[in-house]
Structures are given as C-alpha cells and as structure tokens.
Amino acid sequence: MVRGQMKDYYKVLGVGRDAAQEDIKKAFRQLALKYHPDRNQGEKESEEKFKEINEAYTCLGDPEKRAHYDRYGTIEGFGSGAGAGFGGFGAGAPFGDIFEDIFDDFFGSFGGFKKAKPTKGSDLRYNLTINLEESAFGTERNITIPRWQSCDVCGGIGSEPGKPPVTCTQCQGTGHMRFQQGFFSVSKTCGKCNGTGRLITNPCRNCNGNGKIKVQKQISIKIPAGVDNGSRLKLTGEGDFGSYGGPPGDLYVVLTVEEHPFFKREDINIYCHIPLSFPRAVFGGEIEVPTLDGSAKLKIPAGTQSGKSFHIKGKGIPKLGTHHRGDQIINVYIDVPKKLTPRQKELLEEFASISDEAHEDSKGFKSKLKDLFSV
C-alpha cells in the first residue's frame, strides 16, 4: 500500500474522518462560497484554495471514492483512471443539488436562474363596517370583491382550447440557459419563456394568454359573536388566483365597529348613562332601561345619589368563541329640570325651606365653611 504525497482531504474541508456525508457536503458548500473566484477576483491564493476544496469534495463527497481513499490514502486506480473526476464539474463529480444551492446563494444577485414554481396567489384585504349589535351577536354579510381567478375558457393554461403551449425552442423546455461564469457553468432564467419552459403560440382570447381574469366575486361572510373593532377574519382561498398551479391567496376582512349613540363598549362590558328624576332618586322604585337584548327592569333604591352604578349580569358582549357574556354597567345621574311650572316652583321652595330647618348638619357644614375661609 503506497500512500505517496496525497493531500489530507479531510483537513482541506476542515472535517474529521468520522464526519457524516451531510457534514462533508455542508463544509464544502461553505468553503466554495467563501473562496469562489468571482468573489475573490485577482486573488491567486483563493483560486488555488477553491481548486483544492473542489478536489477534496470530488473524493469525499462520493461514498465509494471516500472508502477507497480511506483504505489506500489515494484515489488513483479508482474508476476510469487516475484522479478520475478531479479538477472539474463533469459527470464524475458527485455534486448534484449542492451546486444548485450554491448558485442560488451566490449568483442570485446576478440574476441567477429561478425555475418557475407554483406560486400562491396574493392575499386580499376588505374593510367592513358593522354596528355594535352585529359585533355582539354576530351576523352574516354579503360582500363583493375584485379578484383574479382562473380563466374559465382555457382553465388557467393561457392557450386557446385544443391548442396547448409548445416547448420553448431556446431552452428546450428546461426554463433556463447555461453559461460559463468563472469555473462554474451557471444557469440563468430563459428570457424567451421566462422560466416556464413553454411558449403560448395561440393565446386564449378570453384572458389574452394570462390564464386569469379579473372578476367581481360575491362572498358570504359569517361574523361570529363577540368580534371587536380591528378584528380580522381570514377566508382561506378567497384571494387572488395562484400562478403555475399554486393555491389561491386568502382574504382578510378587517372589521370596524361603529360608535353606538347610547352604549359604550369596554372589553366585554358595556356602559350607559341613565337619567333619574329627583323624586325617583328620593323615593326609589323600578325603571325600564335599554339593553342590547331589549328593555329590562332595574330597581332603584330610595335615596340613590347621582353617579351611582348598577350592574346587570350577562347583558354585555359575548366573549369571542365562548358562551360567556360581560355585564352592562348603568351609571345614573339626577336629571335637574330646566323649566318648572309655578306650582312646581312653589312646592320646591316649600321643600327647600323645610329641608333647611330639618337639616342642622347642613348649618354646621356652612359654619365650618365660614370658619375655613374667614380672614
């Protein structure tokens, strides 16, 4: 067994002798990107390093060649001749998809080939305004949106029925053209077919060869109970038509809830202000108050002060996705009349007179104020 002066390919790639094939591939990919001559133009050392790592991967990247190298310390005598597969990217080199990855990373900025692939259609947005009751209990709305959809005449192909696309004569259906870039044979998107590999010689008259048409689509939307201002509803597949067999995009409906003239929403609770007459506040009683479900009875205790809050359980907004509802909070205030009849004035004056005599604490309060502000 003669090992000679062969290089240590494991050392060249910076991996151990027990490295997995995937680790060897990863190491080569990183070094190839680092030392590629087009990234290091005019640097002789980088060019030599690039050749060296290419040679190392040609050996270690092929499991059979690697086994031969591990056993004999050389690749000579393997396959079709001494050094078979070294020094280039021919059929003997085990590169496969790795260079496609390198091309994507390195030559992308130079317009590298990107094969036409199925592409999802664009997502769409629709702004919808609803009222508070609809946001609380849910509703169903019909909307109309402009969107691209597959041409119903050509089925999205772009050609007249019975006249399918033909293979691109420039790239022979591959969708890309090859040219030399330094040491690499680089692929570039075919300019004649734009990477599709086919040409439409008889465009569909309905869509002008686009394979899609603009339509006004009517969609029924179910709005769940409990949505709020800014809520988004996603309708999968209701966006624009996809390209090259890709799925359609999605539709996002963004909700705006109108301000209510009486109720104010805070989270899942609603608030409102209810006026009380002076006699009702004094004597108490039962009043009717509006709720989202209609009217409800509310008991007012005697002597209720302005600003008092009352809660009605379960009359607020449903919590989205549950059966739980918030509360309705009612703030009452004394409604002071602006116009009085002579009789009302007479009675109130009599009441005020009696009140001043009956409430000595009121006089004490006035005395304290006089002492406080006296100089």
Decide the pairing of beta strands 124-130 and 251-257: parallel
- What's the rounded Cα separation, in Å, for the pair 65 and 72? 10
Q: Are 304 and 276 in contact (CB under 8 A)?
A: yes
Closest CA to 112 of 124, 122, 101, 121: 101
DSSP 222-263: EEPTT--TT-EEEETT-SPPPBTTPPP--EEEEEEEPPPSS-
Residue 316, number of CB atoms within 10 A of its CB: 25
- What's the rounded Cα separation, in Å, for the pair 254 and 251? 10
Q: What's the pLDDT tens digit per position in 24-55?
A: 988 988 888 888 766 777 788 888 888 888 88
Structure tokens at 80: 């079709």
- What's the rounded Cα separation, in Å, for the pair 112 and 123? 27
Distance of CA 327 to the CA centre of its chain: 33
- What's the rounded Cα separation, in Å, for the pair 370 and 156? 90
Q: Which residues contact 144 (CB under 8 A, 6 or more apart)?
A: 216, 217, 218, 219
pTM of the model: 0.60
Which pLDDT score is estimated for 180?
61
Which structural domains are found in the chain, ordered by start?
Answer: 9-109 (1.10.287.110), 117-150+207-259 (2.60.260.20), 264-334 (2.60.260.20), 342-373 (no CATH)
Instruction: Examine the pLDDT at 296 and tell me if it is beyond 80.
Output: yes
Q: What's the pLDDT tens digit per position in 95-142?
A: 545 555 555 555 443 444 445 678 899 999 999 999 999 999 999 999
Task: With H, G, I as helix, E, B as strand and everything else as coil, classify residue 58.
Answer: helix
- What's the rounded Cα separation, in Å, for the pair 57 and 50? 11
DSSP 187-225: EEE-TTTTTSSEE-SSB-TTTTTSSEEEEEEEEEEEEPT
- What's the rounded Cα separation, in Å, for the pair 189 and 112? 7
Structure tokens at 324: 């739980």
Structure tokens at 287: 């009043």
Q: What's the pLDDT tens digit per position in 224-234?
A: 999 999 999 99
Q: What's the pLDDT tens digit per position in 300-353?
A: 999 999 999 999 999 999 999 898 999 999 999 999 888 889 998 888 888 888
- What's the rounded Cα separation, in Å, for the pair 164 and 198? 10
Phi, psi of 232 (to 5 degrees): -120, 130
Q: Are 199 and 157 in contact (CB under 8 A)?
A: no
